[in-house]
Amino acid sequence: MNLKRLPFPILFFTLIFSSCAPRPTDCMRADVFCVGLVTASGSIDEGINQQAWLGLQDAKAEGLVDRIDYIETVDSRDREANIQVFINDGYDVIITIGSSIADETISAAQKNPKIKFIGVEQTQEKALPNLTGLVFHEERSGFLAGALAASITQTNHVTALCEAKFIDSMRRYCDGFKAGAQYINSNVNADVVYRTGSNQYLFNDRDWGSQAALKAVYDGADAVFAAGGNTADAALETAAGQGAYVIGSETDEYESLTDIRSKLVSSAVNDVRVGVRDLMRLAHTDSLPNGNYFGQIELASFHDLDGQIPPSVKDQLNQLTQGLANNPIMDNVPYQKP
């Protein structure tokens, strides 16, 4: 069910709930397992919001969950109230999406110790008994993206464009990218550029993304990686429009950035869908872990460009993926650990 947070009293949501079957009061029953999802921003049909929702749908199809619902946050000031909707209606697990809703998630978990919370892409610095952070080794994702970029560049110049440096996941992506590029070719020029400016435009600074991409291509980069929501999407679109090959992040951008498929080599994917489904399996048996739970990372398919990637590059990337899973490759690489 789609519950979009609007500036009306919480009673409004109760009325919406009551028109559905089963009614939300069923979630108060011990034999009805309910999970609610709250986005930090954006549509449920985009990015990691969509992947988390698909993971919940998978869990419901497996019979792990009786009822699933979501609320799309329209105004960031409503995040706390949106979480409270599911608390009031007796949901067993509440999932929040994105690092920008982490503070509200921690606060809700502290105030409601009997409810389980999952924060997608929210690193847990201090473990709470009822809060799980579904997190990823972005440094490994970035490493694979950098290795791919260094393997396909013709100018020996590659660039990573990332959201604000104070966001740990962005720093891990970009540090990993540079390390991966230089692992493949120690002489490659691997630039890393972080967005600066107002936090009001975090993950949604399309102007900066576009301008940064233009500069990167103008400076000679022919392979560009970008991480950071709409900021990154704008960078990828602009770089591709200027003839550079591009590499996406978090989700498989082939599904969302359809206009640049001819230049989109791959994406460094955090498998949120599988991570959410796996956590629901644990929640179903009352064995949901607290603290940080690491999900899977991988490079997405090469899609339209598959025939242009040499078999030797594919083999090397597969070997690197296996090496990263065992972690020895990263032992001597500087990056911000989660």
Give the contacts of 129 (CB within 8 A, at least 6 positions apart): 113, 290
At residue 324, the pLDDT reads 86
Judge whether 246 and 263 are in contact, CB under 8 Å.
yes
Can you tell me the mean pLDDT for 314-318? Answer: 95
Closest listed residue to residue 267, CA positions, set 308, 297, 234, 222: 297
Judge whether 59 and 281 are in contact, CB under 8 Å.
yes
| Model confidence at 200: pLDDT above 90 | no
At residue 92, the pLDDT reads 97
At residue 329, the pLDDT reads 64
| Model confidence at 6: pLDDT above 50 | no
| DSSP annotation of 72 | E
| DSSP annotation of 301 | P
Instruction: Report the first-to-last Cα separation within the chain, whole angstroms.
Output: 34
User: Quick count: other Cβ atoms within 10 Å of Cβ 141?
Assistant: 28
CA distance 142 to 133: 20
Question: In one letter, which amino acid is 235?
Answer: A
Residue-wise pLDDT for 220-273, tens only, equals 999 999 999 899 999 999 999 999 999 999 999 998 999 999 999 999 999 999
At residue 102, the pLDDT reads 94
| Model confidence at 338: pLDDT above 60 | no
At residue 276, the pLDDT reads 98
| Model confidence at 143: pLDDT above 90 | yes
pLDDT band at 17 (very low <50, low <70, confident <90, very high): very low
Question: In one letter, which amino acid is 164?
Answer: A
Handedness of CA 38, 234, 179, 151 (dihedral sign): positive
The DSSP element (H or E) to which 58 belongs, if any, is helix 47-61
At residue 169, the pLDDT reads 87
CA distances from 201 to 100, 172, 198, 207 (A): 12, 20, 6, 10
Residue-wise pLDDT for 101-141, tens only, equals 999 999 999 999 999 999 999 999 999 999 999 999 999 99
Give the chain's mean pLDDT: 90
User: How far is C-alpha 203 from the geometric centre of its chain's CA atoms?
Assistant: 12
Question: In one letter, which amino acid is 46?
Answer: E
At residue 216, the pLDDT reads 98
| Model confidence at 157: pLDDT above 80 | yes
**3-state class of 256 per DSSP?**
coil
pLDDT band at 8 (very low <50, low <70, confident <90, very high): very low
At residue 322, the pLDDT reads 86
CA distances from 144 to 91, 173, 234, 338 (A): 38, 10, 22, 18
Q: What share of the chain is helix, strand, coil (3-state, %, to 5)?
A: 45, 20, 35
